[in-house]
Structure 1
Amino acid sequence: MSSFAIAVRVFDGEAPYLQSFIDHHRRLGVDAFYPVLAPGAAPLCREIFARNGIGVHESDGQRISSVQDLIREDYVAVVDADEYLHPGLFDFLVEEKVESLSMPWRLTASLDDNFFESSQKKFFVFPQVKSIVKTSALKLLRLHESNTNGSGRRLGIAQGQHFPVQHYYLRGLDDLLLKEGGVVKRTLAQSSGRKPVNLSGNAESLDFPSRHARVAYLLKILDSVSPQADPYGMSLDRSMLDRLRANVEGDPEVAKQALRDSVVKIQRVYRNRTIRCEINAMQQLLAHDPRKISYQKRVLKLLRQDFQFRRSWLGRLEKARDSLLMPWS
Structure 2
Amino acid sequence: MSSFAIVVRVFDGEAPYLQSFIDHHRRLGVDAFYPVVAPGGAPLCREIFARNGIAFHESDGQRISFVQNLIREDYVAVIDADEYLHPGLFSFLDEEKVESLLMPWRLTASMDDGFFETQQKRFFVFPQVKSIVKTSALQRLRLHASATSGSGRCLGIEQGQQFPVQHYYLRGLDDLLLKEGGVVKRTLAQSSGRKQVNLNADETSMDFPSRHARVAFLLNVLRFIPEQADPYSMSLDRSMLDHLRDNVEGDPEAAKRELHDSVSKIQNVYRNRTIRREIRATQQLLASDPRKVSYQKRVLKLLRKDFQSRRSWLGHFFR
Alignment TM class, shorter chain as reference: over 0.9
Does 1:32 find its partner at 2:59?
no
Residue aligning to 2:60: 60
For residues 95-244 of structure 1, what are the structure 2 equivalents within 5 Å? Answer: 95-244=95-244
Percent of aligned positions that are identical: 82
1:48-96 per-position Cα deviation (integer Å, ceiling 9, x unaligned)? 0000000000000000111000000000000000000000000000101
Look up the equivalent residue of 1:234 and give its one-letter code.
Answer: M
**Cα pair 2:141 2:147 within 8 Å, conserved:** yes
Name the CA distance, whole Å, in 1 between partners of 2:104 and 2:169. 13
1:138-170 per-position Cα deviation (integer Å, ceiling 9, x unaligned)? 000110000000010000000001100000000
What SS is found at the alignment partner of 1:194?
Answer: coil
Residue aligning to 2:247: 247
Equivalences, count: 319
Deviation at 1:285, TM superposition (A): 1.0
Does 1:272 find its partner at 2:279?
no
**Cα pair 2:170 2:215 within 8 Å, conserved:** yes
Name the CA distance, whole Å, in 2 between partners of 1:267 and 1:131. 30
Deviation at 1:192, TM superposition (A): 3.2
Name the CA distance, whole Å, in 2 between partners of 1:318 and 1:101. 41
Look up the equivalent residue of 1:25 and give its one-letter code.
Answer: H
| TM-score when normalising by structure 1 | 0.96
Deviation at 1:185, TM superposition (A): 1.6
**Cα pair 2:13 2:187 within 8 Å, conserved:** yes
Name the CA distance, whole Å, in 2 between partners of 1:284 and 1:298. 15
Specify every segment of 5 or more residues in structure 1 that has no aligned partner in the other structure, as ranges.
320-329
What SS is found at the alignment partner of 2:202?
Answer: coil
1:282-316 per-position Cα deviation (integer Å, ceiling 9, x unaligned)? 11111121120011100100000000000000113
Specify every segment of 5 or more residues in structure 2 that has no aligned partner in the other structure, as ranges.
none
Name the CA distance, whole Å, in 2 between partners of 1:309 and 1:35. 44
Residue aligning to 2:315: 315
Name the CA distance, whole Å, in 2 between partners of 1:204 and 1:284. 35
Does 1:3 find its partner at 2:3?
yes
What SS is found at the alignment partner of 1:126?
Answer: strand
What SS is found at the alignment partner of 1:253?
Answer: helix
What SS is found at the alignment partner of 2:143?
Answer: coil
Name the CA distance, whole Å, in 2 between partners of 1:109 and 1:198. 24
Deviation at 1:188, TM superposition (A): 1.7
Name the CA distance, whole Å, in 2 between partners of 1:66 and 1:232. 31
Deviation at 1:3, TM superposition (A): 0.4
**Cα pair 2:180 2:190 within 8 Å, conserved:** no
Look up the equivalent residue of 1:264 and give its one-letter code.
Answer: S
Name the CA distance, whole Å, in 1 between partners of 2:286 and 2:296. 18
Look up the equivalent residue of 2:129 and give its one-letter code.
Answer: V
Residue aligning to 2:258: 258
Look up the equivalent residue of 1:211 and give its one-letter code.
Answer: R
Name the CA distance, whole Å, in 1 between partners of 2:185 and 2:91. 42
Aligned-pair Cα RMSD in Å:
0.7
Deviation at 1:317, TM superposition (A): 3.8
Residue aligning to 1:21: 21
Q: Which moved more, 1:201-210 or 1:39-48?
A: 201-210
Residue aligning to 1:323: none
Query: Structure 1: which 4+ aligned runs deviate by more than 2 Å?
Result: 316-319
Name the CA distance, whole Å, in 2 between partners of 1:157 and 1:285. 10
**Cα pair 2:105 2:128 within 8 Å, conserved:** yes
Deviation at 1:318, TM superposition (A): 3.9
Name the CA distance, whole Å, in 1 between partners of 2:15 and 2:302. 33
1:120-148 per-position Cα deviation (integer Å, ceiling 9, x unaligned)? 00000000010000000000011000000
| TM-score when normalising by structure 2 | 0.99
